[in-house]
Chain A
């Protein structure tokens, strides 16, 4: 427990553990002491990446059946109260540096952005919108992987999303992944790494198996930069590691190249 009074004005940096006043985080939510990027919710991410007031959300996903896993309903309610969102994914059309895109953002503050039936449906909807409106698709990933509480149905989000994503390749539509902290498990073994361009935000943890599980089965110490964006970049899995402050400009410049494509 913190010795500070319970207030939203002060938060503890998860990296350096120092107390940071709300006003000190700045526009990009960066720790003034150690430079650590605070995790963002979907709304904060959209504000940073898209042109002012350009975002229009897609219609909400129709939830038909809820899984009855013990304790799950309560967990969902808690996440909804905490974030003000119905689920861990938000998508819509928006402009980035005046160029129209479909953008989908996963929310790590909602049950660690885990992939379930609703999030999966939202991602497929975003992909279909990009296809029907012929707009580039940008997916900002923040996820701990498949949501265990929905069992096999969570796993089946991986192949169904990939099947839809393939259609964008056939239709010649640009796909971009931005991996943020954390990008783990099932999302990395499906859509996260399959886009035309895969970027990561500086300092993001990216991997498949969890560090704890790996440590249980391997006696040797893990490499110091294990499962970091920087290591994956060096290994050739990422096209760039980008500072949060530069992401929007970076994406805007990539989108701009499309104007030079021949239109048939």
Chain B
């Protein structure tokens, strides 16, 4: 897993801006949450994906140190989740599918984020995604951890690149609670499924994309394919498919 982490955290990892630039035309970003300001860590906007209007929300991690500081290393702030909800409302108003792009660390651990109601902002975003009246597809370009990732990932379809991971907490944080029970980080995915292949086996991930070739091209194909499938579903079917997928998954363990 160390190798995978290196890949997804590297400066040249495929990112939100690259995906938007190559796959979305006429992209118009939203700015601000109309409450407290704008969070540059999360880009939210609307544009055309193969002639079809969509809403895209993607996390920015930045490549250079200057960018990374501006984007707060991809730690989305409460204002970011509220801007995200604005995007979701826009999507519902115009019946546009939603695509989320995820590569983010865990929570924004700061006094400002706590004072600004980070927990409530995340809960509101999860609730909105749960009941979204249009199709939503989540894409893991890299890592996604904790409630913030859940807010972006609660969707009809989950697409993950092979090296990406989706976890309750960072592998490092989980490692510390293992306290020497497991020496090598390589085995962490076997104990707690968090990488793409293991999560597909669990039934959480729908599509695993290879790390070879043109990543944006293979994402393009996967998105078109999944959108075509979801376009056949009614609003009620979309909500039911999404909620049942998660309910059935957790009910396999306890109910």
Contacts and interface: CB of A to CB of B under 8 A. Distances in A.
Is this pair of chains taken from one and the same complex? yes
B231 to A, nearest CB: 23
Interface stretch (B1-9, B114-122, B215-223): B114-122
B111 to A, nearest CB: 6
21 contacts: A61-B254, A61-B255, A70-B181, A70-B182, A121-B250, A152-B166, A155-B150, A156-B150, A160-B247, A186-B168, A189-B120, A189-B126, A189-B146, A190-B123, A192-B123, A193-B120, A194-B127, A207-B119, A214-B114, A226-B114, A235-B117
Contact of B150 (A159, A207, A237): A159
Interface stretch (B12-20, B42-50, B191-199): B191-199
Interface string A121-151: 1001100000000000000000000101111
Interface of A: 61-65, 67-71, 117-118, 120-121, 124-125, 146, 148-160, 162-163, 166, 185-186, 188-194, 207-210, 213-214, 216-218, 220, 222-223, 226-227, 235, 237
A216 B109 CA distance: 9
B126 A162 contact: yes
A63 B251 CA distance: 9
B246 A193 contact: no
Nearest to A68: B191
Given A166-B131, A218-B111, A69 B191 contact: yes
Interface in B95-129: 107-111, 113-115, 117-120, 122-124, 126-127, 129
A194 B194 contact: no
Contacts of B146: 146, 155, 186, 189
A209 B191 contact: no
A115 to B, nearest CB: 10
B167 A163 contact: no
Given A159-B130, A189-B119, A152 B168 contact: yes
Q: What range describes how many residues of B lie at the interface? A: 35 or more
Contact of A65 (B118, B126, B147, B253): B253
B254 A209 contact: no
Give 10 nearest A-B pairs by CB, closest first: A70-B181, A151-B192, A189-B147, A188-B119, A117-B253, A121-B254, A209-B109, A208-B119, A189-B122, A117-B254
A64 B192 contact: no
Contacts of A125: 255
